Amino acid sequence: MAHKTEFLYLSEQDTIKAGVLDAAKCVDNAEEVFTLLSKGDYLMGGSNHNSHGMGLVFPKESPFPNMPVAGPDRRFVAMPAYLGGRFDVCGNKWYGSNAANPSKGLPRSVLTVTLNNKDTGEPLAFMSANLLSAARTGAVPGVAARHLARKDSEVITVLGCGQINRSCLRSILTQLPNVKKVVCYDIFEAAAEKFLDWEKKELGIEGEVNLDLGQALKDADVVTVAASRLKPLYVKDEWLKPGVTLLITGPMQSDDSFWMSTKLIYDNVRLHEAYVQEAVESGDKAGYYKGVIGGPIYTLIDAGKMPALKDSTSIGEVILGEKEGRTNADERVTFVACGMATFDVGLGYDLWKTALEKGIGQKLVLWDDPYQK
C-alpha cells in the first residue's frame, strides 16, 4: 500500500504572509504555551526534558584543515521539543551562528524550524525561522507585560538596541496602551539612534537616546533587557524606581540587593533547574553561570540568600491564577526568560496552520511511496 508524504515549505516571505509579524497574535500564542508549560504538557531535550538545546561548539584549533575552529558566537544548536494541548506536535529549531556573518550580508544566526508528526515522525513543515524566533522571543516579555506590568506605565527603557529588542518592544507595546515615551540605551550610540528612528516610524511613540545608563533608567516604568554579550551590562539597584517591571531577555548583572528585593517571576522554573543541573554536570558551575541569563540569581540561591528554584514562580502559574504576580503598584517585579524550543514549535504550528488555510507556501514531496518499508 502506497503512502505519500508531503510537507509544507515556508520561506521568510511566506511566514510574513502567515502572520509572523503580528505581535499581538504572537503574544496570545506565547501565553497559551506558558499555560502548557506550567501544566507539564510538553517535553524538551536532555534527561531532564527541559534542556535548552544541544550545541555543537568548535575547538580552538584542529589538525583537520576543513574543520571549523572557534570564533565569536560560532556554534550550531539543535532545540527539539514536543508541545501538547491543541498543538500536539513535535518540532526542532536548528541554527548556526557566527559573529562574522554580517560582513557577508547575513544575520548573525541563520535559523530554521521543522514540525513533525508526533507518531510517525513524518515532516509536516519546514520553514525559515529568523523572524519566527525573533517574534516568539519578543512575545515572551509581551506576555509578562500583560500580567506583571502596571497598566498605567508611561515610560519604557530599552537596554540593547538590536533586532531582538525591536521584537520585544513591538510585543510589549501591544499590552501597554498608555506608554508615551521610549528611552533607548546601547553601548553604541549609532545603534541607539537607529533604534529610536525605527520605533518612531513603526510604533509612533516619541523617545530619546540616553547613553548614561543611570539616567536612562531613572523614570522607567518598564525596562526591556536584550543587551549585547560584548560588554557586561550592570544595572545598579538605586537606578530602578519603585513599581518598575524589568523584563530580562538578555544577560544582566545587578547588585545583590536588587535580586534579593525584587519579586522574581520565571518563564519556566523547570528550565532554570535544568540550567543549574547542567552547571553542576559541567564541573565548572561558576563558569557556566557566567554564560547564562539566570547566573547571578542561581549564585545567590546557592549561597542561601534567595529562595530555592523549586519554591519560585513560573509565569504560567500566574496566568492560571495558581500563584500571585504583581500585588501592588510599588512592587518591583522582574521577569527572567531564557528561551525555550516550545515557543518556536507553538508559533511555527500556528504559522503552518494559517499557511495551509490560505494557500501560502510550497508543498514538497518526501516520497510518493517509501523505497524502504
| CATH number of the domain residue 348 falls in | 3.30.1780.10
Instruction: Tell me the pLDDT tens digit for each residue of 140-178.
Output: 999 999 999 999 999 999 999 999 999 999 999 999 999
Give yes or no for residue 52 having a pLDDT over 90: no
Q: Measure the CA–CA gap between 185 and 175, rounded to whole angstroms.
A: 22
Using 50, 70 and 90 to split pLDDT, how confident is the model at 359?
Answer: very high
Instruction: Tell me the pLDDT tens digit for each residue of 76-133.
Output: 999 999 999 999 999 999 999 999 999 999 999 999 999 999 999 999 999 999 999 9
| pLDDT of res. 228 | 75
Q: Measure the CA–CA gap between 52 and 46, rounded to whole angstroms.
A: 9
Q: Measure the CA–CA gap between 119 and 319, rounded to whole angstroms.
A: 30
Q: Provide the grid cell at 224.
A: 526591556
The reply to whether 42 and 152 lie within a common domain is no
Give yes or no for residue 1 having a pLDDT over 80: no
| pLDDT of res. 74 | 92
Which candidate, 98, 39, 93, places its Cα nearest to that of 74? 98
Q: Measure the CA–CA gap between 373 and 367, rounded to whole angstroms.
A: 12
The reply to whether 167 and 229 lie within a common domain is yes
Q: Provide the grid cell at 298.
A: 542561581
| pLDDT of res. 131 | 97
In a domain, 139, yes or no: no
Question: H or E segment at 131?
Answer: helix 130-148
Question: Collapsing DSSP states into helix, strand and coil, what is residue 113?
Answer: strand
Q: How far is CA 128 from the centre of its chain?
A: 17
In a domain, 220, yes or no: yes
Whether the predicted model's global pTM rises above the 0.85 cut: yes
Q: Provide the grid cell at 56.
A: 555543537
Give yes or no for residue 227 having a pLDDT over 90: no
The reply to whether 87 and 227 lie within a common domain is no
| CATH number of the domain residue 155 falls in | 3.40.50.720
The reply to whether 184 and 287 lie within a common domain is yes
The reply to whether 165 and 306 lie within a common domain is yes
Question: H or E segment at 359?
Answer: none
Neighbours of 112 (CB within 10 A): 18
In a domain, 373, yes or no: no
Give yes or no for residue 291 having a pLDDT over 90: no
The reply to whether 261 and 171 lie within a common domain is yes
The reply to whether 316 and 282 lie within a common domain is yes
Provide the domain count of the chain: 2
The reply to whether 325 and 352 lie within a common domain is no
The reply to whether 70 and 148 lie within a common domain is no
Cα distances (Å, whole numbers) of residue 308 to 31, 265, 297, 341: 25, 13, 10, 25
Can you give the residue range of the structural domain that contains 203? 144-340
| pLDDT of res. 230 | 67
Percent of the chain, pLDDT > 90? Answer: 90
The reply to whether 112 and 177 lie within a common domain is no
